[in-house]
Amino acid sequence: MININDHDIQFFENKYYERSDNPEDADDAIRIIHKMAAADVIVLSSPVYFYSMTGQMKTLIDRVFKYEKDLKSKEFYYIITATDNNEEALEGTIQGFRGFIHCLYDSREIGIVRGFGARDSGSILKKPTAVQEAYEFGKNA
pTM to 2 decimal places: 0.87
Which range marks the domain in which residue 50 is found?
26-140
Structural domains of the chain, count: 1
**Residue 76 included in any domain:** yes
Per residue in 52-66, pLDDT tens?
A: 999 999 999 999 998
**Residue 96 included in any domain:** yes
For 38-99, give the DSSP string.
H-SEEEEEEE-BTTB--HHHHHHHHHTTT-GGGGTT-EEEEEEEESS--THHHHHHHHHHHH
**Residue 11 included in any domain:** no
**Residue 10 included in any domain:** no
**Residue 92 included in any domain:** yes
88's CB contacts (< 8 A; 6+ apart) are none
Q: From first to last of the 141 residues of the chain, give the pLDDT tens digit.
A: 899 999 999 998 877 667 666 656 678 998 999 999 999 999 999 999 999 999 999 999 999 998 999 999 999 999 999 998 889 999 999 999 999 999 999 999 999 999 888 777 776 777 777 778 878 877 777
CATH of residue 80: 3.40.50.360
Per residue in 18-34, pLDDT tens?
A: 766 665 667 899 899 99
How high is the pLDDT of residue 51? 94
**Residue 19 included in any domain:** no
Q: Which residues pair with 79 in a beta bridge?
A: 45, 113
**Residue 14 included in any domain:** no
- What is the length of the chain? 141
**Residue 3 included in any domain:** no
Cα angle vertex 9, ends 49, 47, to 5°?
Answer: 20
